[in-house]
Structure 1
Amino acid sequence: MDIKTLGFLMATALHLLQPLAAMADEAPPKSGNAVFDRAVELVIDNFHDASALPRFSAAVRQEIGTGPLNANSSETRVDKAIDTVLASLQASHTGRFEPDTIAYFELADIFRFAIRNDMRRLFPPDGQVSYPGIGMIAEPLAGSLFVSDVYDGSPAARAGILTGDEILSVDGAPYHEIASFSDKVGRTVEIRLRRDAGAEPTTVKVAVERLRPLRTFEQAIEASVGVSEQNGKRIGYVRLWTLSAPDGLDIVAREMADGRLKDVDGMVVDLRGRWGGGPSDAAELFVGDTPTFRLIPRKGEATLANMRWQKPVVAIIDEGARSGLELFAYALKSNGIPLVGARTAGALLAGRAYLLPDDSLLEVAVSDAVIGDDVRLEGIGVAPDIPVAFSLPYAAGRDPQRDAALREMQRILAGG
């Protein structure tokens, strides 16, 4: 093929590709629905990966063209459309959260600075995020609702609700995360549940409280602390529900330096959390090289300035370990600390929250996250060293992953 012919073919190819490139770069059309259009605009302007935007724009055009989507569209139609176009990005830290979910309130507290100008309007009178609840998360599975999390020290925990319980009703009505407890703060509700497959339902009474998300997480971290004794060795345990709670890591540090965990022989750190967040160097509490030190004034008590754990550690992970907790798990594994459980979420991007016109929250992944020079956990996660499956339905509080972590710590302490 001569140069002239080759040049003609290349020019023809470029000419054919130009309309496709222009279509990819062209902003998608407006639907006329303010919530949908604002969500699209925020993604176009802020999503971290520009190469995904043509795919996103195509999904937007598809949604607009396949059914009525305008100012008069039903909430159900708008919800479906937004979920569909966001899913096309195939990224973590990207989703929409509405005020009828616990996630909405927890993320509003985590991202409170990003939405600071609207906090007093959204959460009157003082702008403090709170919701009516009992400290329990239930997830749908095979057509039923099962308790996936019970926050340590919460009303649900005090009432004896266990992970794996099937939730049948609240005060005789179907369970809803927020609506089931609205206008019932200070009262008790009757939760009908089934603990074993095929068993007769039972009813428990639970006090409804007004929960402040980050404070609830701090209380749960503190309440999770425990010590068990096996073969003459004392093993400590703590669950890091999130790294976003301002005092969460300090609670753990104080317990290890001067509290209930001070004299244990080894630690099991549970990273099966709810949200990540937090400082990127959080794992240095267990793997850092600097020594523990205190500031001792002339009068008064000494202040813990830095804590570094120097004894054996085993960590528990699963898909609840995401974002900052996932980086935590990666750091522990890189330092030879065994991980027990299931692969982490593979959700390590940096997100930011935005308010949509209906006051729902839109989280958008605004930054990529790279460990070292080229390690990415997004879509991959961290694999456990000791895989242990966990079956949620009717678990009745049994926790094979925690049991396996305790056995591994016993083996380590025995010199195995």
Structure 2
Amino acid sequence: MRNSQMKRASYLAAAPLLFLAIAEAPAADPPRSGHPVFDRAVELVTDNFHDESAIDRFAAAVRREIEDPQSPVAKASPPERIDQAIDAVLASLDASHMGHFQPDTIDYFELADIFRYAIRNDMRRLFPPDGEVSYPGIGMVARPENGARFVSDVYDGSPADRAGILVGDEVLSVDGKPYHEIESFSGKIGRPVELRLRRRAGAEPITLKIAVEKLRPLPAFEKAIEESAEVATHDGRKIGYIRLWTLAARNSMGAVAEALADGKLKDADGLVLDLRGRWGGGSSDAAELFVGDTPSFRLIPRKGEDVLANVRWRRPVVAIIDEGSRSGLEVFAYALKVNGIPLVGARTAGALLAGRGYLLPDDSLLEIAVSDAVLEENTRLEGAGVEPDLPVPFSLPYAAGHDPQRDAAIEEMRRILARG
């Protein structure tokens, strides 16, 4: 049964995720407000959104926004108010892979690197001199919750990781000023900043000095995947762990394969695979490393080192999922689930469309869902997601680095190994 299910899962999501796709343009002209950024966003959505039957609903939302005397597009408004208007009309489509991103956010830079081919003609202008996406930062993402900002991601091996920042820390200030994802670190590459945090509710703040680095998104993700690999001994058995931050980086799965075949995880008795990522992307057959039935092999030249040609992991696996498991990572999770590999955590994002990035006149980035994605036997994950076999909630504020989902996955692996 495992092999037949694997064969069904191997061709899931034939449409590439987070990559270029093109939709036919509807005939009707979209409503216009006279604001160049808003109107260009409306035009791009009208011409490229994958579901043409939804365009009338979208046009109605645009008209309401234009005709509302309180709308930012009905009067001279600052850029942030135009952002709100764009967000409002995008929300009318109720679809994933729809978003508007400004260059004062980490999302902007990460998506610009993921969509680099789609915006290739502007890369050198946006990221001089060589067109390589980079931004000043420390390898930390914080998200708003209850009027505060809490660390939601610390990239393995990053300055934030080395400094001891923990998931759940409340971010209070950087160099005595309010925290901003990009602005707080701009012009400070190679210099330390003082980051004030609160680790527990009501506790006194702590201050950490952290060096700012020039971060390149996709290489940073590859490094984070490599650095996340570790092994711990439980009940005399070695349990490995690795986090797949994204499938969009060129060597995402290569980093996992290397760790399993020749790296830190090669002697592990079982593996906890963390699919709580930042972005999806990647090949739809990435899960083949764990569920494929082709044999592992190496290419052995007359001279030089052996080359890994095909890696297959045959030992037990438990995967962790949550709302950060989206797009290609959801296909990955689905393939594991139909092959009997247990999933621990929370339901995935339910974000399985194919997206493309477009630049707007102000150089903000618009992501549009340009293709639908339907799995075998008309299975849809968009809006539904993949449910865990073992649900485990996670509360972010003041988590102090405690990770109940990872702990539960390790316990599940211990039970599997104990059964022999």
Normalising by structure 2, we get a TM-score of 0.92
| Alignment coverage as a number of residue pairs | 393
**Aligned partner of residue 147 in structure 1, secondary structure:** strand
Indicate which of 259, 262, 265 corresponds to 1:255: 259
Structure 2 residue identity aligned to 1:234: K
The separation in 2 between residues aligned to 1:342 and 1:50, in whole angstroms, is 32
Indicate which of 405, 411, 420 corresponds to 1:401: 405
Q: Which runs of 4+ in 1 moved over 3 A?
A: 24-28, 70-73
Structure 2 residue 298 is the aligned partner of structure 1 residue 294: yes
Quick check: 2:67–2:74 contact (8 Å CA) kept in 1? no
Quick check: 1:33–1:73 contact (8 Å CA) kept in 2? no
Indicate which of 28, 31, 34 corresponds to 1:29: 31
Percent identical residues: 73
Q: 1:251-298, CA deviations, whole angstroms, 9 ceiling, x for partnerless residues?
A: 110111111111110010000000000000000011000011111111
> 1:135-214 alignment to 2 at 5 Å?
135-214=139-218
Quick check: 2:73–2:82 contact (8 Å CA) kept in 1? yes
Structure 2 residue identity aligned to 1:38: R
Indicate which of 244, 247, 263 corresponds to 1:240: 244
For residue 127 of structure 1, what is the aligned residue in structure 2?
A: 131
**Aligned partner of residue 344 in structure 1, secondary structure:** coil
**Aligned partner of residue 258 in structure 2, secondary structure:** helix
For residue 412 of structure 1, what is the aligned residue in structure 2?
A: 416
Q: 1:322-368, CA deviations, whole angstroms, 9 ceiling, x for partnerless residues?
A: 00001100000000000000000000000000000000000000000
Indicate which of 316, 319, 335 corresponds to 1:315: 319
Structure 2 residue identity aligned to 1:44: T
Structure 2 residue 116 is the aligned partner of structure 1 residue 104: no
For residue 351 of structure 1, what is the aligned residue in structure 2?
A: 355
Structure 2 residue identity aligned to 1:380: A
For residue 46 of structure 1, what is the aligned residue in structure 2?
A: 48
The alpha carbon displacement at 1:27 in A equals 3.3
CA-atom RMSD in angstroms: 1.2
What runs of 5+ residues in structure 1 fail to find an aligned partner? Answer: 1-23
Quick check: 1:34–1:71 contact (8 Å CA) kept in 2? no
The alpha carbon displacement at 1:301 in A equals 0.8
The separation in 1 between residues aligned to 2:384 and 2:157, in whole angstroms, is 33
What runs of 5+ residues in structure 2 fail to find an aligned partner? Answer: 1-25
The separation in 2 between residues aligned to 1:241 and 1:87, in whole angstroms, is 26
**Aligned partner of residue 189 in structure 2, secondary structure:** coil
For residue 65 of structure 2, what is the aligned residue in structure 1?
A: 63
The alpha carbon displacement at 1:26 in A equals 4.5
**Aligned partner of residue 254 in structure 1, secondary structure:** helix
Structure 1 residue identity aligned to 2:32: K
The separation in 2 between residues aligned to 1:26 and 1:244, in whole angstroms, is 35
Shifted more, 246-255 versus 82-91: the winner is 246-255
Normalising by structure 1, we get a TM-score of 0.93
The separation in 2 between residues aligned to 1:87 and 1:407, in whole angstroms, is 40
The alpha carbon displacement at 1:75 in A equals 1.2
**Aligned partner of residue 194 in structure 2, secondary structure:** strand
Structure 1 residue identity aligned to 2:242: V
Quick check: 1:33–1:71 contact (8 Å CA) kept in 2? no
The separation in 2 between residues aligned to 1:354 and 1:123, in whole angstroms, is 16
The alpha carbon displacement at 1:73 in A equals 3.2
Structure 2 residue 283 is the aligned partner of structure 1 residue 283: no
The alpha carbon displacement at 1:70 in A equals 5.9
Structure 1 residue identity aligned to 2:169: D
The separation in 1 between residues aligned to 2:214 and 2:65, in whole angstroms, is 39
The alpha carbon displacement at 1:77 in A equals 2.4
Structure 2 residue identity aligned to 1:360: S
Structure with the bigger RCO (C-alpha within 8 Å, sep 6+) is 2
Structure 2 residue identity aligned to 1:145: R
Larger Rg over CA atoms? 1
**Aligned partner of residue 285 in structure 2, secondary structure:** coil
The separation in 2 between residues aligned to 1:345 and 1:408, in whole angstroms, is 23
The alpha carbon displacement at 1:373 in A equals 2.8
The separation in 2 between residues aligned to 1:321 and 1:29, in whole angstroms, is 36
